[in-house]
Amino acid sequence: MIPAAKWIVIFFGIFLISAGFLMLFAPGKARELLRKAGSTDLINYSEITIRMIPAAAMILYSEMSEYPALFNLSGWFMIFTSVVLFFIPRRLHHSYSLKCADILKPVYLKMLSPVSIFFGIFLIYCII
């Protein structure tokens, strides 16, 4: 179970790095994807469920990471927010994602991209 958790966290870090590069080089595409959050029942509940997988992996692997408390707290935060999203009406989640996509202009996504890239690298660094 623990080796699988390690690899899930590594893939999550790669995902965050990839998302950061998408935000940097194709911010329009990133906004388009953000607009789809919560747009259908399938997308909404798949998205919420899938984000719980790396969260659980972070909790499971926290004791072997460089920063156990941070990994544990981050994992539980992701689990908690996912559970909350399960109970929020899908239309409200979707309208929130649309509003965020409107606020996050391409220039802002480019400015935020290093945060995603850094966090992805940080996750991988902490477990290798």
**pLDDT for residue 16:** 98
CB count in 10 Å sphere of residue 94: 18
Quick one: three-class SS letters along the chain? CHHHHHHHHHHHHHHHHHHHHHHHHCHHHHHHHHHHCCCCHHHHHHHHHHHHHHHHHHHHHHHHCCCHHHHHHHHHHHHHHHHHHHHCCHHHHHHHHHHHHHHCCHHHHHHHHHHHHHHHHHHHHHHC
Give the whole-number percent of the chain exceeding pLDDT 70.
100
Query: What integer is the mean pLDDT of 78-93?
Result: 96
